[in-house]
Amino acid sequence: MRFKLILERTGAGKFIPINYQYELSSAIYRIVDEADSEFATFLHQQGYRANGKPFRLFTFSRLFFKGFKVLTESGRIEHFGREVAVEVSFLVDRIAEEFVKGLFINQEIFLGDKISGTTYQVQRIEAVAKPLFLPTMHYRCLSPILIKRKRESGGEDYLSPVDNGYSDILLENLISKSLAYSQAITMEAGVSDERPEIKLDIKGKLFKNGVTIKQLTPQQTKLIGYSYEFELTAPVELQEIGYYAGFGHLGSQGFGCVGVK
């Protein structure tokens, strides 16, 4: 399920950090925790699992402000308007949809760090209609897609869509998410044992996006994703997995959220 949260700035402050994704992710966990701490703990500590790896199976877009200015040198966004929207997407059973939507109405969300921040309140929730999923889909990034690959010498590389192996890792990630979700819901395997084929066709320009999480803390980490439009040919079930749970890695940190062109 996917829905759009319409937030109103209720705090007196007008400045939030450009790198707000970690704080927004934490706010989503907190809201779920207040209603169902067991499910929140499951999402945060364990998640759905496949091949020994956890998958949180939700994602969210970047914030869409009304009335704002990006202050690059200070790393701030000045939101002098009142309204901001964000799309939140969960790969959950349809039965849970109204429950999850109900968690967010009138909730307060603080976005900020040690330097500045402000408070927003959820004013309304708008449903996002389910797309008609086809074997070939055209998407645009609502948040950057992050694909990482471990180095043999240690550490990780953040891949560009033009790097060798990018689409292979994207496919493996979609298959693992499908397996994790289906095992948790039906206790059965997800996609068939036969490895599906996918075709990733980049449309237009690539935009490199660096995102810092846990900013101004000892755990500060710089992540690199890419925003772009793309056409994807893949099994319909994997199209749906990517749309609702996010394409690529770290969807629960605000990566891999897409809209249908």
Helices marked H in the chain: 21-35, 37-41, 97-104, 166-185, 236-245
Q: For the domain that residue 31 is a member of, what is the CATH number?
A: 3.30.70.1890
Cα 253 versus chain centre, distance: 6
Tell me, yes or no, whether 101 and 148 share the same domain: no
pLDDT at 189: 47
Q: What is the pLDDT of residues 144-199, one digit of tens each?
A: 999 999 998 888 999 999 999 999 999 999 998 888 777 655 544 445 556 788 99
Tell me, yes or no, whether 23 and 74 share the same domain: yes
Please say if the pLDDT value at position 24 is more than 70: yes
pLDDT bracket for residue 246 (50, 70, 90): very high
Tell me, yes or no, whether 166 and 77 share the same domain: no
Tokens at 141, concatenated:
């990034």
Tell me, yes or no, whether 111 and 148 share the same domain: no
Tell me, yes or no, whether 250 and 146 share the same domain: yes
Last-in-domain residue among 68, 94, 127 = 127
Tell me, yes or no, whether 114 and 149 share the same domain: no
pLDDT bracket for residue 43 (50, 70, 90): low
Using a cut of 0.75, tell me whether the model's pTM lies above it.
yes
Tokens at 103, concatenated:
């968690």
Phi and psi at 186, nearest 5°, equal: -115, -5
Domain tally for the chain?
2
Tell me, yes or no, whether 114 and 145 share the same domain: no
Tell me, yes or no, whether 141 and 76 share the same domain: no
- CB neighbours (10 Å) of residue 173? 24
pLDDT at 95: 46
Q: For the domain that residue 224 is a member of, what is the CATH number?
A: 3.30.70.1900
Q: What is the pLDDT of residues 109-142, one digit of tens each?
A: 999 999 999 999 999 998 899 999 999 999 999 9
Tell me, yes or no, whether 232 and 181 share the same domain: yes
Q: Check if the beta carbon of residue 93 is closer than 8 Å to that of residue 113.
A: no
Last-in-domain residue among 127, 156, 188 = 127
Residues of the domain holding 52: 2-127
Closest C-alpha among 169, 147, 189, 177 to residue 239: 177
Tell me, yes or no, whether 161 and 189 share the same domain: yes
Q: What is the pLDDT of residues 45-91, one digit of tens each?
A: 545 554 555 445 789 999 999 999 999 999 999 999 999 999 999 88
Tell me, yes or no, whether 152 and 235 share the same domain: yes
Tell me, yes or no, whether 176 and 249 share the same domain: yes
